[in-house]
């Protein structure tokens, strides 16, 4: 007889703390306990798991290793895309770049981990839609790059949330277009903050600014929150609601009601007889 072990129960949410007991994502905690392999897709990004460990993460809000390395001049875009096309996955890409002498393995590992944690911050952000996990079929991947326990990823996500909240409690600054303000009494910005301000044009978001600078997402979020706290950055005001025409007077409303108009025509015809 084959015995199928039941999956562990999902953690319950601690309402006082606002986080699920045992982790940021109950589904991710369960997948780690299962030692699952596959891809967790969430509104803010994806996490790739192998044997319950996070081996890769990506998010449209966080520059990946390729964007960081090419923006910083460590690689040309052609070199990165050639390796990515031949490598097939992050580990294969890293191995090709190291074997070609374009990067050191230590440098590739550091870049991989930094990009993983940045993407995981957005991927595990509160969302309006549930996540979906796609179990991998076939042999499990061999991870040459560092794999991170789920508990470590979640601790780092919570640490970053707490830090950013202490700097400036409005999370909208992470994802909406940013505009400069003209607060005269604000402290003088640092060189890095001045570079962020120069790109805050009412169109770019914090992730856009990070990508334009070739910097990691999270350090840019830190500078953005500090600038918001100093009154040098703000989010645009919400768009005004569309103009709603005032209600028609009762008499005018009757004129526009086709049923009432028909009855009036019948009445007039009867009175004319």
- pLDDT tens by residue, 30-57: 999 999 999 999 999 999 999 999 999 9
The alpha carbon dihedral of 179, 182, 186, 191 has a sign of: positive
For the entire predicted model, the pTM comes to 0.77
What are the b/e assignments for 251-270, b being 16+ CB within 10 Å? eeeeeeeeeeeeeeeeeeee
Question: Which band of pLDDT confidence, cut at 50, 70 and 90, is reported for residue 139?
Answer: low
pLDDT: which is higher, 108 or 183: 108
**Per-residue pLDDT reduced to its tens digit, 181-209:** 987 677 889 999 999 999 999 999 999 99
The answer to whether the CB of 128 falls within 8 A of the CB of 43 is yes
253 band by pLDDT with thresholds 50, 70 and 90: low
Residue 256's pLDDT band, with cuts at 50, 70 and 90, is low
pLDDT at 140: 55
Indicate the range of 10-14, 68-72, 134-138 predicted with least confidence.
10-14
């Amino acid at each position: 007889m084959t015995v199928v072990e039941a999956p562990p129960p999902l953690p319950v949410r601690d309402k006082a703390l606002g986080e699920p007991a045992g982790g940021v994502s109950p589904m991710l905690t369960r997948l780690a306990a299962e030692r699952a392999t596959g891809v967790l897709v969430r509104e803010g990004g994806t996490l790739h798991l192998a044997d319950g460990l996070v081996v890769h993460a990506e998010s449209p809000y966080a520059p990946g290793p390729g964007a960081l390395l090419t923006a910083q001049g460590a690689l040309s875009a052609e070199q990165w895309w050639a390796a990515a096309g031949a490598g097939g996955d992050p580990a294969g890409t890293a191995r090709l770049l190291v074997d070609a002498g374009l990067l050191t393995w230590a440098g590739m590992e550091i870049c991989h981990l930094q990009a993983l944690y940045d993407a995981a911050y957005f991927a595990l952000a509160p969302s309006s839609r549930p996540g979906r996990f796609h179990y991998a079929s076939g042999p499990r991947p061999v991870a040459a790059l560092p794999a991170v326990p789920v508990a470590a990823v979640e601790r780092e996500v919570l640490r970053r949330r707490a830090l950013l909240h202490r700097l400036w409690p409005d999370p909208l600054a992470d994802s909406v277009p940013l505009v400069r303000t003209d607060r005269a009494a604000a402290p003088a910005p640092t060189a890095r903050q001045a570079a962020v301000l120069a790109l805050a044009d009412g169109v770019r978001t914090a992730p856009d600014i990070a990508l334009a600078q070739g910097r990691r997402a999270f350090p840019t979020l830190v500078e953005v929150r500090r600038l918001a706290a100093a009154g040098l950055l703000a989010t645009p005001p919400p768009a005004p609601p569309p103009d709603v025409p005032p209600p028609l007077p009762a008499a005018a409303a009757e004129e526009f009601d086709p049923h009432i108009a028909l009855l009036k025509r019948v009445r007039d015809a009867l009175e004319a007889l």
